[in-house]
Amino acid sequence: MELLNATVIDRQERKITAVPVSREVPLTIEVNDKELATLLCSPEHIENLVGGFLYKSGIIRDLSQMTSIIIDEERWKANVTIAGEGFADDFVFKRIYTSGCGKGVIFHNPLDLINRVKIISDFSVGSEIIRTFMKEFQKQSEEHHLTHGIHSAALASGEEILIFRDDIGRHNAIDKVVGEALAKNIGFTDKFLLTSGRISSEILSKALRCRMPIIAAIGAPTNQAVKLASQVGLTIVGLVKGPRMIVFSGEERIV
């Protein structure tokens, strides 16, 4: 966070006050010395973000393919070396600009996953656990309470929240969670995702690529996300606020 002077107007009173504001940096990711993408992101947990982004874009299958990663915090560049040739070339013409903050980019069409991936899981979670975890989730981000300019994401088991991350972009927050889980060898098939944002088709595709069976969100899903989730057997729980939630697909997993 950064403190910036701003004019606070409260009724008829005006005063100059130092206000906390979330930081934003343009992070350029280079793969094998070729520029792949620039992400507008928060400048924390950058290695998690890069690993999660490359994994969920389909560029790597696991973190072991990344033989090195160098973060330049002066120019905000992440130079990644991946075993093998042609990774960046394979994806340069497959960019899809998403509905996310800062014009997010992914390297596959979410529809491409539908015929290749199905969620086959008997994992279930109680609605009361979702309510409890969401309440805890909303309290974890000190930066959100100070700036209201940040998104959050988390990975949870049926017993606890395992990983929590913040970022100015909801896509980036999820990628940071996935990157940390990969680094810690935490599996996804018996976990669920918590997110502060809406669930669009590209957010759905991130969970689908990880074979996560459930997404729970404070925000609402899009119609396309619900249709795709129903086809692949993924559970979407949206508008989780207080005692209320709406299960849009895969209701059998919410007990």
- Tell me the catalytic residues: 101
Name the DSSP letter for residue 125.
B
Contact yes or no for 188/180 (Cβ under 8 A): no
CA distance 115 to 176: 27
Amino acid present at 208: L
Contact yes or no for 161/137 (Cβ under 8 A): yes
For 197, the 3-state DSSP assignment is coil
For 223, the 3-state DSSP assignment is helix
Q: How far is CA 204 from the centre of its chain?
A: 10
Q: Which residues contact 70 (CB under 8 A, 6 or more apart)?
A: 78, 79
